[in-house]
């Protein structure tokens, strides 16, 4: 492995962490190891080392771990400031691996009521099937978290910025609450793009990313990552990757490894473009509301200003019109693409009608529906602002907005 100095700055680590000169060919980039099996030593002592989690530089079967994913783990652990990292087949794989490792019958978890759909269903539908007691609360209010935790709480799980309404939760405040009852704080930091937020430095114990999004950045790979203490990462590796089978393809790991080199540069552009787009949307007469943490009008602006180094590239907005007219905007866009996912090089948008969102979020109470109807109105556009010239993105949105009846 090429020498890596933990004191190096972020841009340098993105280029060098996890990299090395290929021993066989002397190539400057590591090769992709697509093998599923590796020759194992016949010596008993060496064999024990090979199959031990204490020797992750030895390989025997790719579902367990393999070289290319391991290089990515080394990089992400250093970037996030954690002891170790486990990469998985997808972001949901990372979430599931963590939850299934930590939770069991009789255990309690407090979690963000607004979070990625698959996460909410894992927490709201599937975990209770195994006897886990789940409290879904508004984690943008630390006092709600404080009221929800109790002595049997094993973990507090927050997603910030939160999908889909860009909600902001105070990581440091909630870490203190979680630790007061001996619970771990898990933060899904996907929407931060990693480089704009450092949850571990703010008191979190575990950080999760869908590396499919900003970390990869090119819309051509699926991957997830969990970063935290080495002992816990070994447990998650065994439970989530080996037992549940959420292992990442070496090729996908290589794509994320390659994409992450430019992560700081890309995130700077995402942040700059998103701020300009948010300010434009806020000024347009047909736009009813805009939620972007960089705007002083966002209810979590002060918290985001304190805990983020940039406000990432995600925002939502809606219009002074009904549901059908929102779809009229989608028909008129030429540059911005109507598609799911986020954090790509290109700008992506999707419309989420409030009724559809509530139908999907089957564990929402009537009170929760009422509260989020006030925020979402008839529905929201979720906009992932890309790397195009900001003027071109704004011109495309302006043209479509002006044409909406």
- Place 23 in a pLDDT band, splitting at 50, 70 and 90: confident
List, as one string, the DSSP characters of 169-235: --HHHHHHHHHHTTPEEEEE-GGGTTTTB-TGGGT-SEEEEETTTTTT-SS----EEEEE-HHHHHH
pLDDT of residue 190: 98
Give me the torsion for CA of 151, 155, 160, 166, rounded to 10°: -70
Cβ neighbors of 379 (< 8 A, separation 6 or more) are 318, 323, 326, 351, 352, 353, 354, 355, 356, 357
pLDDT of residue 2: 57
Least confident of 233-237, 255-259, 374-378: 374-378
Query: CA-to-CA distance for 209 and 206, rounded, in angstroms?
Result: 10
Cβ neighbors of 53 (< 8 A, separation 6 or more) are 234, 237, 238
pLDDT of residue 90: 97
What is the second-level CATH architecture of the domain 264-403?
A: Alpha-Beta Complex (3.90)
Least confident of 27-31, 71-75, 104-108: 27-31
- pLDDT over threshold 80, residue 47: no
pLDDT of residue 68: 92
pLDDT of residue 48: 78
Of all residues in the chain, what percent carry a pLDDT higher than 90? Answer: 72
pLDDT of residue 362: 60
Domain 10-262, CATH:
3.40.640.10
Query: CA-to-CA distance for 146 and 168, rounded, in angstroms?
Result: 17
Q: What is the pLDDT of residues 265-286, one digit of tens each?
A: 999 999 999 999 999 999 999 9
Of the two residues 24 and 256, the one the predictor is more confident about is: 256
Instruction: Check: pTM over 0.85? Answer yes or no.
Output: yes
Q: What is the pLDDT of residues 141-171, one digit of tens each?
A: 999 999 999 999 999 999 999 999 999 999 9
Query: CA-to-CA distance for 209 and 248, rounded, in angstroms?
Result: 14
pLDDT of residue 369: 80
Least confident of 255-259, 322-326, 367-371: 367-371
Closest to 11 in 3D by CA, of 270, 190, 267, 342:
267
- pLDDT over threshold 90, residue 300: yes
CA atoms within a 13 Å half-sphere pointing along the CA-CB vector of 13:
18
Q: What is the pLDDT of residues 342-391, one digit of tens each?
A: 999 999 999 998 877 777 666 777 888 888 888 888 899 999 999 999 99
Of all residues in the chain, what percent carry a pLDDT higher than 70? Answer: 98
The overall longest dimension of the chain from CA atoms, in Å, is: 75
Domain ranges of the chain: 10-262, 264-403
């Amino acid at each position: 492995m090429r020498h890596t100095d933990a004191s190096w700055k972020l841009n340098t680590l993105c280029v060098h962490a996890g990299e090395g000169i290929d021993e066989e060919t002397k190539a400057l980039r590591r090769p992709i190891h697509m093998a599923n099996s590796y020759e194992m030593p016949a010596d008993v002592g060496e064999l024990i080392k090979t199959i031990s989690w204490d020797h992750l530089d030895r390989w025997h079967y790719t579902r367990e771990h393999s070289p290319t994913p391991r290089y990515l783990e080394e990089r992400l652990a250093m970037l996030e400031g954690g002891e170790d990292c486990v990469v998985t087949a997808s972001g949901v794989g990372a979430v599931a691996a963590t939850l299934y490792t930590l939770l069991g019958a009789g255990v309690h978890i407090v979690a963000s009521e607004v979070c990625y759909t698959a996460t909410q269903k894992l927490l709201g539908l599937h975990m209770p099937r195994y006897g886990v007691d789940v409290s879904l609360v508004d984690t943008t209010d630390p006092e709600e978290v404080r009221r929800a935790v109790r002595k049997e709480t094993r973990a507090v799980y927050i997603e910030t910025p939160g999908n889909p309404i860009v909600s902001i939760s105070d990581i440091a405040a909630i870490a203190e609450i979680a630790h007061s009852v001996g619970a771990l704080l898990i933060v899904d930091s996907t929407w931060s793009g990693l480089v704009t937020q450092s949850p571990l430095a703010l008191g979190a114990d575990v950080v999760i990313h869908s590396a499919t999004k900003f970390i990869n950045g090119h819309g051509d790979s699926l991957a997830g990552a969990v970063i935290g203490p080495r002992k816990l990462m070994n447990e998650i590796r065994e439970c989530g990757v080996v037992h549940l089978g959420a292992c990442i393809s070496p090729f996908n790991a290589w794509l994320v490894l390659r994409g992450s080199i430019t992560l700081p540069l890309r995130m700077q552009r995402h942040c700059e473009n998103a701020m300009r787009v948010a300010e434009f949307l806020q000024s347009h007469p047909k736009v009813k509301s805009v939620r972007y943490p960089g705007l002083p009008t966002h209810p979590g602006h002060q918290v985001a200003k304190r805990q983020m180094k940039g406000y990432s590239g995600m925002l939502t907005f809606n219009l002074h019109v009904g549901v059908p007219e929102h779809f009229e905007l989608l028909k008129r866009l030429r540059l911005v693409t109507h598609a799911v996912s986020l954090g790509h090089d290109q700008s992506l948008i999707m419309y989420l009608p409030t009724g559809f969102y509530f139908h999907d979020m089957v564990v929402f109470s009537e009170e929760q529906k009422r509260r989020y109807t006030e925020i979402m109105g008839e529905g929201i556009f979720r906009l992932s602002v890309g790397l195009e010239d900001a003027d071109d993105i704004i011109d495309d949105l302006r043209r479509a907005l002006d044409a909406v009846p």
